[in-house]
Amino acid sequence: MQRIILHIDMNSYFASVEQQANPFLRGKPIGITGKDQIRSVVATASIEAKKLGVKTAMSTWEAKKICPSLILWPGDPEKYSDIMHRFNAIYREFTPHIEPFSVDESFLDITEEAEDYFGATYIAQMIRSRLKEELGDHITASIGIAPNKLMAKLACETVKPSGLTVVQSDDVIDLLNRCNLTDLCGIGPRIHARLNTLGIKTFQELRAFPLEDLQREFKSYGLWLHEASHGRDLSQGVTSDIQDIKSYGHSYTLPQNTTDPVILKRYLFGLADKVGWRMRRDGVVARRVTAHVRFGNFTNHSEQRTFNEPTADGKNLFEVAWSILRPHLKSDVRLVGLSASLLCQNPSQPSLFKKERNMQSVLCALDTLQHRYGSGVWKRASTLPIEFKPRSSGFHFDHEV
Ligand SMILES: [Mg+2]
């Protein structure tokens, strides 16, 4: 059966997320960098920066030389990962057949949902408007629709930024003929150079080249190249990423060992809010919380408790985790953490109790803000004095147990 595949690619992803979060950056050339801006490269250039000649992977000093008005902005991987979960959740409203390809690209198989290319275009437009509604005006996507992943991705490349295109089976040869060999995902500089040595510079020439000779030169990849030149994709279809997450957890190694309950409470509360947010974002609630502490001498203690009512509210998670840990905080603490498990889908029913209902609507409003501006857009007053610094060890966000 002929498939209908969507390839959705966010435009200048990291830069757009920052522009969405910070109005000061909108309409300006910005380059997202690593922490050390002087020795870093541009991970993503905004659309405005690209127009002025800044390219991805360019060193920051070179980018500044080309575009002196370029604003270098340190990247925030946690924010990008949050938004990635958010847009993949939007795609799941339309089909369960989703394969994330990179942090800002996904393939969707919408054959059953769309029925034909007219339906596919409609779904693509609906996805666009849901993205705008949930993520804001500044995070935009390009969408390619085609009979397989390879052609959908190539089609998407041709309409960047912010385009939408449909390439049906009869049109794939036309599409290939309009493209350069290196536009195709799978033909990198080394394969390209070897093809050039064989006198192959276009898809027409690749198509005309005998398969046996291609296989002699490229072994099994020769068949892939031959098929690709005809717009056929030898890879398997969209492999759904149904994740079977068992728990959501965060732990943090404190800047200094301490026994001060005020400091420990702040960190634990901050971590509980992170866990609660990720659960609400994924539409689940938990019936169990496990609290974890590591002492200065590297001994550990962890204990769990089960809720009567499942929850995804950071405050509930914190209160139980704190009641577990409190009696054990007699010597210096090095690390605190908690995880939520026994997950089930959030029934989204309003609580019977007024106080709970009010809290649910506050959380709902705060989540809308986080969806739009990224996690970290709000903090509880009690956790204001602390900051979670991402570290290569000791800090695990999106840590799944
Ligand atoms: Mg992109």
Is 54 domain-assigned?
yes
pLDDT of residue 394: 37
Kindly state whether residues 61 and 199 are assigned to the same domain.
no
Distance from the CA of 177 to the center of ligand 1, in angstroms? 23
Kindly state whether residues 36 and 4 are assigned to the same domain.
no
Kindly state whether residues 134 and 200 are assigned to the same domain.
yes
Is 213 domain-assigned?
yes
Q: Which of 53, 77, 101 is the last residue of a domain?
A: 77
pLDDT of residue 348: 60
90 class by beta-carbon count within 10 Å (0-12 exposed, 13-18 middle, 19+ buried): middle
Distance from the CA of 199 to the center of ligand 1, in angstroms? 32
Distance from the CA of 377 to the center of ligand 1, in angstroms? 24
Distance from the CA of 141 to the center of ligand 1, in angstroms? 8
By C-alpha distance, which of 274, 232, 250 is closest to 366? 274
Kindly state whether residues 85 and 233 are assigned to the same domain.
yes
Going by the annotation, the residues of the binding site are 9, 104
Kindly state whether residues 66 and 149 are assigned to the same domain.
no
Is 277 domain-assigned?
yes
The answer to whether 3 touches 109, Cβ cutoff 8 Å, is yes
Is 195 domain-assigned?
yes
Kindly state whether residues 298 and 259 are assigned to the same domain.
yes
Kindly state whether residues 218 and 336 are assigned to the same domain.
no
Kindly state whether residues 198 and 296 are assigned to the same domain.
no
Going by the annotation, the residues of the binding site for Mg(2+) are 9, 104
Domain harbouring 161, CATH code = 3.30.70.270
Domain harbouring 47, CATH code = 3.40.1170.60
Q: Looking at the DSSP assignment, which residues form a beta bridge with residue 302?
A: 292
Is 395 domain-assigned?
no
Is 400 domain-assigned?
no
Q: Which of 56, 77, 98 is the last residue of a domain?
A: 77
Is 58 domain-assigned?
yes
Write out the residue range of the structural domain in which residue 41 sits. Answer: 14-77
Kindly state whether residues 255 and 368 are assigned to the same domain.
yes
Kindly state whether residues 196 and 279 are assigned to the same domain.
no
Distance from the CA of 100 to the center of ligand 1, in angstroms? 12
Domain harbouring 378, CATH code = 3.30.1490.100
Kindly state whether residues 111 and 145 are assigned to the same domain.
yes
Catalytically active residues are 105
Q: Which of 222, 242, 262 is the last residue of a domain?
A: 242
Distance from the CA of 15 to the center of ligand 1, in angstroms? 10
- Digitized pLDDT (tens) for each residue of the chain, 401 residues in all: 789 999 999 999 999 999 999 999 999 999 999 877 777 889 999 999 999 999 988 999 999 999 999 999 999 888 888 899 889 889 988 988 888 888 899 999 999 889 899 999 999 999 999 999 889 999 999 999 999 999 999 999 999 888 999 999 999 999 999 999 999 999 999 999 999 999 999 999 999 999 999 999 998 899 999 999 999 998 878 877 555 667 888 888 898 999 999 999 999 999 999 899 888 887 788 999 999 999 998 898 999 999 888 899 999 999 999 999 999 988 899 999 999 998 887 766 666 677 777 888 888 888 888 777 766 788 888 888 888 776 543 334 434 33
Distance from the CA of 10 to the center of ligand 1, in angstroms? 4
Q: Cis bond leading into 161, ω under 30°? A: yes
Kindly state whether residues 230 and 298 are assigned to the same domain.
no
Q: Could you give the number of structural domains in the chain?
A: 3
Is 274 domain-assigned?
yes
